[in-house]
Amino acid sequence: MLKGLLYATNNPGKVLEMGKLLNYYGIGVVSPNDLGMDLNVPETGSTLEENARLKVKAYLAKSNDRLVLADDTGLEIDALNGEPGIRVRRWKDGETRMGDEEIIQHCLKLMVDIPMRSRGAQFKTVLALGLPNSNVEIYKGILRGVILEKDDPLRIEGFPFESLFFVSEWGMLLGHAAKLPAGQKNGRLNHREKALQKAIPRIKQLVSSH
């Protein structure tokens, strides 16, 4: 008997974002914090998919008959040859963990002389859905945009690029779109939500069949 869905992250911003969308589709979700789980999974993979699989398998082993969602996201900036990629938090030297503000300022510094026409970038999310039988299914989402020349005052904890990443297709900053209620998004799905939307029919199928 499935006990529901666990979203394997300790990032409160991610829990809020994904929870809103899942609830919109009538799917309940809990976080590790809700269950009193304290699990730190080293992201030692060399790709987004490897890291997502590492996280989902670690939480599956502790989740007691729950579906488990885990994801990894990278930002690829065209003018920086795809940096920072999967190393957003360790962008500066590959080792030292950076805070949100440090990441914002580091990005602006690296791109200070790059004109707007060359500031294209994309977010890429790989979402892993772990089943109680230990099988893992993969879903992907991509969102194109541009990096602004100056950061917006808006801040969302755990999401440094929400104040820098402008989605031309929406005419809106990613952070402003993130604050819209699920019912008002009008198709404005970010990279993580695009991946999740692909997974939702499968999640519903699994939940309803148990």
Give the integer Cα–Cα distance in Å for 163 and 155: 6
Rounded distance between C-alpha atoms, residue 135 and residue 146, angstroms: 36
Residues in the chain: 210
93 annotated active-site:
no
The helix (H) or strand (E) run that includes residue 126 is: strand 120-130
Task: Please give the backbone phi and psi of residue 179, each rounded to the nearest 5 degrees, phi first.
Answer: -85, -5
Question: Helix (H, G, I), strand (E, B), or coil: what is residue 119?
Answer: coil
Residue 117: strand pairing partners: none
Catalytic residue of the set 72, 93, 151, 152:
72
Q: Give the residue numbers marked as catalytic.
A: 72
